[in-house]
A and B are shown apart, each in its own frame.
Chain A
Amino acid sequence: MKLDFEHRQSAHCESGVTSSLLRKTSGNKITEPLAFGIGAGLFFCYIPLIKINNGPAIAFRTFPGLIFKRTCNALGIPVTRKKFSSKEKAEGFLQQCLAEGKPVGCQVGVYYLSYFPREYRFHFNAHNLIVFGKEDDNYLISDPVMENPTTLTSYELERVRFAKGALAPKGQIYYPAGDAEITDEQIRKAIISGIKRNVNQMLRIPGSFAGIRGVKNTGIKIKKWRDKLGLQKAGSYLAQLVRMQEEIGTGGGGFRYIYAAFLQEAHAYVKNDELLEISKIFTQAGDLWRTAAVQAAGIYKGRLGSQADFDQMGDYLIEIAAVEKNAFLALKNIKWQ
């Protein structure tokens, strides 16, 4: 059985899945950048005390599941999301959805995801893919990271749906539960509320670990890494920062470009010309994240390594914090038309 579903590749798994699942309902209007922006996907958080793969835990996106939830809520589309304690029930529910003709989103872990190259398989449990059919024992999979649709055997799919560790997916499955007509006016409102939410989450979140203050404080911390951790470990930490920043599903620098693309697309619905100007600031922020990544690479490849190099690295983040703060303040001050 193969459902009528068109695979689309995207830059980020959850916004890609959201856009694909809403494709029919929205008449193709909810693109990946729109889903990312309406879902207020842009974030930064350095979680102290927690270690991932023996390095720092840094997130550049909102908590998994929120982009889909917020986007659907903002557009007035009801959502079904289920977790399971039993593997049999989880598969039964999946088959039932497919039998009803519904492609569904699944949260999975990538460690045992067989079509991923081994180098990419870490215990990362917040990946998202779409199941859109089953042929013999093979589920048809649309993984937004991949250029083409792929397959997983029922055992392989079960294993990734029930991956263990932090953010364990517990067989989580979700889909838009209804076909509401989406008007341009609804999209306009959703865009504005998404932007407001993102402004809040970057500017007003309390504490020094998240949002713009989190970026700045991470910059300050990085300057101390060389003395505190030693050159090799500090290099590994920076490599982890870059992987969190640039790899699939986490991409900090890449997310700034998606957000910039979102603001451009938003302009088609919301006639505030400021959006186009602010889009350029996010492009600049994305470029700066990339520059910082190059600096980090210099350190973990051993080309750089003096305290001045770490200071420079930290200063990049402090500069990024200033640029992004300006961008979000500008968004905050828009008089919506």
Chain B
Amino acid sequence: MPQDMSALGKITKEVCYATDSSGKYVTELSAGWEVKIDALDVAWKDVQERVAAAKQKVLNNEASPLLFFMEYRLMDISILSDYSGFWKWQIKRHLKPEVFKRLSDKKLQKYAEAFNVKVDELKTMTVHEA
């Protein structure tokens, strides 16, 4: 039973089914497995790269901050549409910086709630929580 400390292992061990010496199945606890930890690392490394690329695009005025928060919150347009209540075509428009700048506070508030941030944080790409 592998015991490689994972992000989850700090909080809880996982139950696994394994055979004992007589071949009978029992449950055992595992703190994690290196292969899994690495897989998760790869996934987050990909996410971080996407977030960084999105941030650069926003700074270059090629996309609105929505793109940054979508990557940061791992959302695609359809998930954001579900959380914010906007149609997908509206979100696509709002991804353009010039359209985003003209959005009303009410609309910005909807996005801020969907991303779990405040409106001024939404505009400035500020993130603070763990």
Listed in ascending order, the chain A residues whose CB lies under 8 Å from chain B are: 9-11, 33, 53-55, 111-112, 115-120, 122-123, 145-148, 164-166, 168, 235-236, 239-240, 242-243, 246-248, 254, 257-258, 260-261, 264-265, 279-280, 283, 290, 293-294, 296-297, 300-301
Contacts and interface: CB of A to CB of B under 8 A. Distances in A.
A9 B15 contact: yes
Main secondary structure of the interface of B (DSSP, over half): mixed
Contact of B7 (A10, A117, A280, A290): A117
Contact of A117 (B8, B43, B75): B8
B17 to A, nearest CB: 4
Contact of A240 (B24, B36, B43): B43
A147 B25 CA distance: 20
A115 B11 contact: yes
Interface string B56-92: 0000000000000000011100110011000000000
Interface residues of B, number: 39
Given A117-B8, A118-B130, A261-B17, A165 B42 contact: no
Interface of B: 7-8, 10-19, 23-25, 27, 29, 33-36, 38-40, 42-44, 46-47, 50, 73-75, 78-79, 82-83, 116, 130
Contact of B25 (A33, A117, A118): A33
A243 B17 contact: no
Between A120, A239, A260, A290, the greatest number of chain B beta carbons within 10 A of the residue's beta carbon is seen for A239
The residue among B11, B18, B35 with the most chain A CB atoms within 10 A of its own CB is B35
A257 B14 contact: no
B74 A11 contact: no
B128 to A, nearest CB: 13
Contacts of A248: 8, 14
A263 to B, nearest CB: 9
Given A111-B74, A168-B82, A145 B18 contact: no
Q: Identify the interface centre among B10, B12, B116: most chain A CB within 10 Å of its CB.
A: B12
